[in-house]
Structure 1
Amino acid sequence: MADSRCAGGCGPLECGAVTFSSNTTELWRDKPFLLLASARTISILGSGFARIALGFAVLELPGAGPGRLSLVLACQAVPQLVFILVGGVIADRVSRSRLMVVSDVLGAAAYTGLAVLVFTGHAPLYLLCSLAFAAGAASALFLPAMEGLVPLLVPADRLQRANGLLRMGTNSSLLLGLALSGITVAWIGAGWALALNAASFVVSAVLTFRLPRFVRTARTSTGWADLKEGWREFSSRQWLWAVVAQYAIVVAAVNANVGVLGPLVAHRELGGARTWSLIVAAQAVGTVAGAGLAARVRVRRPILVAVLATFPAAAPIALLAASAPIWTIVVAMFFAGVAGDVFGVLWSTTIQREIPEEALSRVSSYDLFGSLAFAPLGLLLAGPVAAGIGLDNALAGCALLVVLATAGALLAPEVRSLTDREVAAKTPVAATAGPEPEVS
């Protein structure tokens, strides 16, 4: 770590000085980390294509309509939630890197099949739904394994920096994928965009296959016993379940805004899709900046800072409800993106440091399952609630839910007190009050 003392000789936590160091290059020289970062960046680039391409691909098929599109997208979304706990159990039993390879191969096969259906124009509904289901299942297997693999590849003192760099790469890649997908669909068709996504999974699988295997000791317990053990690890930590409960509400409210309410208000009074795309893009740019910041900032109380970083998510929703000028909404979305990825990096790093490695994927799966549990409900209820109480009132209600859920999480003593032991060890005794940052 570079010396971050100020000119007067005091440490950064004594005087509040903030300094940056450039030793993130050490991670980029580490071959396993570079392979993982490259695989994730390429895979997420393809996923950016798929987010837009799949919907247009289904609508291009004979006999397609809103009902068929909803069914196919639901078949993709449901296994992502339902199988996430199964993915956590499997990832704690086998080589996580090899499970990620299997997931990538399954995703490549699913999107290749979808592309073929679009190219041929022959797409029975059962086949569309089956392939979408396989794509969702691949994601459910991948995510817990990915969360558990990072601390096996990266030393503990570089975990936060590694998580930040990974998020910078994936956020930038997703932003690029979303930008290019519309052009690709318009110029050469949705089928080719799906084929490019399938190719990205293949490249990711090849890169991930080159990672260390980390073969695990065979477990004699049943999968159900493993699941219960993971639950004990999860439920025994107040800071963990309190923030997951918070985010179950926050994600539902934010999804309702981004997926339904925001587009409706943009269509009504902000000039339509072009303006809404600008607002969403501002948030995406903010996530890149937030990940870069969080990769280098170390705080004594990471969960406290992470929860406080959730409050800005309410600002753009409230501004939409108040019919504020577009530029203020764009600025608020940018800072919401910054704060959101500060939360994400601090949260992932704390889980990786605090949870025993042998249970890490299962605990991560409970985190993902709980945080996403109400997301479909938020999308489902947003339209009817807006019709019943008015669009502005629905937006104000979503903003209020974010604030109340975040304030509720702050009531948990462990959320306020959990300390990063490495930062605390370097903190002078006289400066141990408050979540002052150390930037390394």
Structure 2
Amino acid sequence: MWWGNRYPVFVASRLISQTGDMAALSALTVHVHASTGSPVAVGALFLVRMLPRILGLVAGAIGDRAELRGLMMLCDAVCGAVFLLIALVDPTFPVLLALVFVAESASTITLPAARTLIGRTVPKEHLAAANGMLIAASATGFASGAALGGLLAGMGDYRWALVINAASFAISILLLVPLPRAVPEPRSGRSFLAETVAGLAVLRRSAHVRPVVIGLVGIAFAAALDRPALIVLVREDLGASALWYGLVLGGIAVGGLVAALGMPRYRGMDAWALRLFGVGIAAQAAGHLTMGLAPVTAVVVLGALVAGFGNGLESLCGNTLLQRDAPKESLGVVLGVVLSGSFLADAAGSALGGLLVEAISAPGTFVVAALIMLACVRIR
């Protein structure tokens, strides 16, 4: 049985590839900064990495028409080959950017494909548990990979991290091989463009799907407002050390992991998913408000834990609701819209957050973000 026996293997494949990918990104960041000495070059690396995310809608539409296990194996193979090539030839900076763009384009297809696979193959009563495991694996791989890449780049040649990343994609492919195929839903015979447009129409028609998508994207924007405000709040307003800043970020991660691993054990998770989605958003608002108004840094850490838990709960319930309620033949498009919308919202929020910090202070920016989050609860 796919869910009972082999789903953990799927999660392991995502954990390993995410760990390797973050190790490579950390090492490349250190390498680019050391070799160019230019913050602009580092920014260009991150820009090239994120640009394909804008095409999440197209990536999701591809997943709707494809056998997903094979598609993910193909994308992993492309990523592994690209990073191995970078490690072998040590390319010039422009060529490096072009190769990273190719790898990230393949990864962009994988992101909605993994969640579409869950919606296509996992029984509805197990969706929350499936998403919880995947979210927890992603968070663990993100943190451990970033630390590993920084360590390897600091100890020696950055290319070892890229070799490890290529190997992680190879291991991921091997883990995917024995899993069952995830064939697409029967097609209507319409063109790729027509089916993509039809998938977008779900957002307009469905009273169940639209509010969830708006909530996920809106929260991404509001949370991004506080990204530039947090370092100012901790280091300047509260006069705390960099260690405390790290503890706050760790608190957000821990809170998210607790939600992802703990909430699926709640028996009413499936029946109460929509209400818990709103609770997750409200918890994030409370956490961000607590951080902004905190008199001491320890309270900021407490607020970060609450906000992280709310974010994990919102993400868990949001993905579960979309997989449950969106039409299976258009699920990839819907998830792709969330990917693209969240990326654009994150970029806009980060840019606007810096301006807000200068205009109204870091605590004021946290208050604004909390109010936007509460507005997302009302939209739901």
- Normalized against structure 2, the TM-score is what? 0.90
Counterpart for residue 128 of structure 2: 160
Give the drift of 1:195: 2.9
Is the contact made by 1:163 and 1:349 (CA closer than 8 Å) also made in structure 2? yes
Q: Which has the larger share of helix?
A: 2
Structure 2: distance between partners of 1:354 and 1:335: 28
- Structure 2 residues not aligned, in runs of 5+: none
Residue 198 to residue 257, structure 1, CA distance change in 2 (3 Å):
farther
Structure 2: distance between partners of 1:160 and 1:320: 29
Structure 1: distance between partners of 2:341 and 2:368: 21
Structure 2: distance between partners of 1:237 and 1:170: 29
Verify: 1:386 aligned to 2:366, yes or no. Answer: no
Is the contact made by 2:230 and 2:362 (CA closer than 8 Å) also made in structure 1? no
Is the contact made by 1:313 and 1:336 (CA closer than 8 Å) also made in structure 2? yes
For 1:326-345, what aligned pairs fall within 5 Å after superposition? 326-345=297-316
Give the drift of 1:27: 7.7
Structure 2: distance between partners of 1:301 and 1:323: 32
Give the drift of 1:29: 4.9
Q: Partner letter of residue 21 of structure 2? A: S
Structure 2: distance between partners of 1:197 and 1:256: 32
Structure 1: distance between partners of 2:27 and 2:235: 22
Structure 1: distance between partners of 2:294 and 2:272: 36
Structure 2: distance between partners of 1:177 and 1:161: 24
Is the contact made by 2:323 and 2:331 (CA closer than 8 Å) also made in structure 1? yes
Structure 1: distance between partners of 2:366 and 2:38: 29
Counterpart for residue 286 of structure 1: 255
Counterpart for residue 30 of structure 1: 5
Q: Secondary structure at the match of 1:238?
A: coil
* Match for residue 188 of structure 1 among 149, 156, 160: 156
Structure 2: distance between partners of 1:51 and 1:343: 27
4+ aligned runs moved over 6 Å, structure 1: none
How many residues in Structure 1 have an aligned counterpart in Structure 2? 376
1:14-40, Cα deviation, whole Å (9 max, x unpaired)? xxxxxxxxxxxx988512x13211101
Counterpart for residue 77 of structure 1: 50
* Match for residue 17 of structure 2 among 30, 43, 53: 43
- Structure 1 residues not aligned, in runs of 5+: 1-25, 411-440
Is the contact made by 1:27 and 1:34 (CA closer than 8 Å) also made in structure 2? no
Is the contact made by 1:73 and 1:132 (CA closer than 8 Å) also made in structure 2? no
Counterpart for residue 202 of structure 1: 170
Q: Partner letter of residue 247 of structure 1? A: L
Counterpart for residue 105 of structure 2: 137
Q: Secondary structure at the match of 2:208?
A: helix
Q: Partner letter of residue 98 of structure 1? A: G
Is the contact made by 1:239 and 1:303 (CA closer than 8 Å) also made in structure 2? no
Q: Partner letter of residue 159 of structure 1? A: L
Give the drift of 1:376: 0.7
Q: Secondary structure at the match of 2:359?
A: helix
For 1:47-58, what aligned pairs fall within 5 Å after superposition? 47-58=21-32
Structure 1: distance between partners of 2:187 and 2:325: 24
Structure 1: distance between partners of 2:14 and 2:372: 33
Residue 194 to residue 257, structure 1, CA distance change in 2 (3 Å):
farther
Is the contact made by 1:245 and 1:371 (CA closer than 8 Å) also made in structure 2? no
* Match for residue 318 of structure 1 among 266, 289, 295: 289
Structure 2: distance between partners of 1:322 and 1:239: 35
Q: Partner letter of residue 255 of structure 1? A: A
- Normalized against structure 1, the TM-score is what? 0.78
Is the contact made by 2:222 and 2:349 (CA closer than 8 Å) also made in structure 1? yes
Give the drift of 1:116: 4.3
Structure 1: distance between partners of 2:153 and 2:84: 16
Give the drift of 1:310: 1.1
Give the drift of 1:84: 0.8
1:31-84, Cα deviation, whole Å (9 max, x unpaired)? 2x13211101111222332443332121122x3401111112111101112x21
Q: Partner letter of residue 231 of structure 1? A: L
Q: Partner letter of residue 161 of structure 1? A: A
Q: Decide which structure has the larger Cα Rg and report it.
A: 1
Structure 2: distance between partners of 1:317 and 1:29: 38
* Match for residue 278 of structure 2 among 307, 324, 340: 307
Structure 1: distance between partners of 2:2 and 2:241: 43
Structure 1: distance between partners of 2:233 and 2:261: 32
1:123-173, Cα deviation, whole Å (9 max, x unpaired)? 232x12212212321222112211111134433322222222222333233
1:323-381, Cα deviation, whole Å (9 max, x unpaired)? 43222211221222222222222222222222232222122112322333321111222
Give the drift of 1:316: 4.0
For 1:87-126, what aligned pairs fall within 5 Å after superposition? 87-116=59-88, 120=90, 122-125=91-94
Verify: 1:247 aligned to 2:222, yes or no. Answer: no
Structure 2: distance between partners of 1:274 and 1:198: 33
Verify: 1:359 aligned to 2:330, yes or no. Answer: yes
Q: Partner letter of residue 70 of structure 1? A: G
Residue 219 to residue 115, structure 1, CA distance change in 2 (3 Å):
farther
Structure 2: distance between partners of 1:271 and 1:198: 39
Q: Partner letter of residue 34 of structure 1? A: P
